[in-house]
Amino acid sequence: MIGALQCVVLDCPEPIGLARFYAGLLGGEVNRADPRWSLDDDWSTLHLGSGGVLAFQRVAGHRPPRWPDPAHPQQSHLDIGVVDLDAAHAQVVALGARPLDVDRARGWSVYADPAGHPFCLVRE
């Protein structure tokens, strides 16, 4: 095991509004204080009763997905918490991940899985 799933992140135009929508659908607590994330106009979270977390990230010019139109694909990514970003980097690359935006100084880096889906390694 390289890391642990921290949250599933959904791109959207209004993070707090989408967090409230999912709270109505699933229950949970919107924007509960959590040292893993900074909460602001561009980022909201929903802590679920099951222990899972959904996060909502503002994307300028957001184009909503159109099922099943591949020109407007689904827009989400996984955040994977890791203790050692350097070791995790080497391990995911060995598994077939492609680095997209690696900057260990900020505490997280973006990769693509072998099918091109983005995911982040985030320092715990």
Please work out, in degrees rounded to the nearest 5, the angle formed at the alpha carbon of residue 81 by the alpha carbons of 99 and 21.
100
Is residue 21 in a domain?
A: yes
Q: With a cut of 80, say whether residue 22 has pLDDT above it.
A: yes
Q: What is the pLDDT of residues 69-98, one digit of tens each?
A: 888 888 899 999 999 999 999 999 999 999
Split into its structural domains, the chain has a count of: 1
Is residue 67 in a domain?
A: no
pLDDT of residue 68: 84
Is residue 29 in a domain?
A: yes
Q: Assign 119 a pLDDT band (cuts: 50, 70, 90).
A: very high
Tell me the helices (H) and strands (E) count for the chain, helix number first. 2, 8
Tell me the residue range of the domain where 95 lies.
4-62+75-123
At 55, which CATH number?
Answer: 3.10.180.10
Is residue 70 in a domain?
A: no
What separation in angstroms does the CA of 4 have from each of 17, 26, 41, 80, 117? 27, 22, 26, 5, 17
pLDDT of residue 25: 86
Q: What is the pLDDT of residues 24-65, one digit of tens each?
A: 989 999 999 999 999 999 999 999 999 999 999 999 999 888
Is residue 33 in a domain?
A: yes
Q: With a cut of 80, say whether residue 115 has pLDDT above it.
A: no
